[in-house]
A and B are shown apart, each in its own frame.
Chain A
């Protein structure tokens, strides 16, 4: 059973639209949640971390966490072609040093 699940996509959205990326996890004692962006051929780059239920906003990005339903999402407002990448969700349980990564969702923003 996969511990962190993401739809592999690709998710295709038009420029200027809101892209919604979702991630579910199975470990109920997970406490830390991360979103990374990875361009093709590059390494993952941290976008946001979230630790409490609710929304966390940073520029065009909003992370949403619902621990009761065991999901975390990433919204990208005013999507740009430069946002086209694979987005990795990572989840870490309390007391652990190492997060578990999902396989990532490929996002394509077309002009």
Chain B
């Protein structure tokens, strides 16, 4: 099976701009989660989607949003970018095995905000 794919791999934006990141989960997986990783804060949970519905949400401002499509692909959007949004954004594909659910991470998108 192909792994999790994320596009683009690298992005450079300026403050105030917006950005959209894309994630395609492992074939057959219906749930994806998004994380922000920075050296100072570690891995922080953004949100999780299952069957096009946001099932869980982390503690991030409304500038961070996401959605999931019927083919399980997911996008996240960050509006009005701030310098502090510079981070590695990770998408994880969730295996959907109930108590044995496992997250498999994609390669990530490295976002730099200037």
Task: Report the 7 A-B pairs with minimum CB-CB distance, sorted nearest first.
Answer: A101-B43, A43-B105, A103-B42, A43-B108, A44-B105, A43-B107, A98-B56
B99 touches A32 (CB 8 A): yes
Q: Taking the complex as formed, is A31 at the interface, i.e. its CB lies under 8 A from any CB of chain B? A: yes
Residue of A whose beta carbon sits closest to that of B47 = A98
Q: Taking the complex as formed, is A62 at the interface, i.e. its CB lies under 8 A from any CB of chain B? A: no
Per-residue CB contact flags for chain B residues 29-41 toward chain A (1 = under 8 Å, else 0) read: 0010100000000
Q: Which residues of A contact B99 (CB under 8 A)?
A: 31-32, 51, 94
Q: Which residues of B contact A60 (CB under 8 A)?
A: none
**Cβ < 8 Å to A, chain B residues 56-77:** 56
Q: Which residues of A contact B107 (CB under 8 A)?
A: 42-43
A43 touches B106 (CB 8 A): yes
Interface size on A, residues (CB 8 A): 22
Q: Taking the complex as formed, is B102 at the interface, i.e. its CB lies under 8 A from any CB of chain A? A: yes
Interface size on B, residues (CB 8 A): 22
Q: Which residues of B contact A92 (CB under 8 A)?
A: 101
Per-residue CB contact flags for chain B residues 73-92 toward chain A (1 = under 8 Å, else 0) read: 00000000000000010100
Q: Which of B42, B56, B100, B102 contacts A101 (CB 8 A)?
A: B42
> Given that A32-B100, A97-B48 are known contacts, is A45 also in contact with B105, CB under 8 Å in the complex?
yes
- Bound Cα distance from A43 to B106, whole angstroms: 7
- By a beta-carbon cutoff of 8 Å, the part of chain A in contact with chain B is 31-32, 34, 36, 42-46, 49, 51, 88, 90, 92, 94, 97-99, 101-104
Q: Which residues of B contact A51 (CB under 8 A)?
A: 99-100
Q: Which residues of B contact A104 (CB under 8 A)?
A: 42
B43 touches A97 (CB 8 A): no
Residue of A whose beta carbon sits closest to that of B104 = A46
- Bound Cα distance from A104 to B43, whole angstroms: 9
A99 touches B100 (CB 8 A): no
A46 touches B102 (CB 8 A): yes
Residue of A whose beta carbon sits closest to that of B50 = A97
Q: Tell me the minimal C-beta distance from A87 to chain B in angstroms.
A: 13
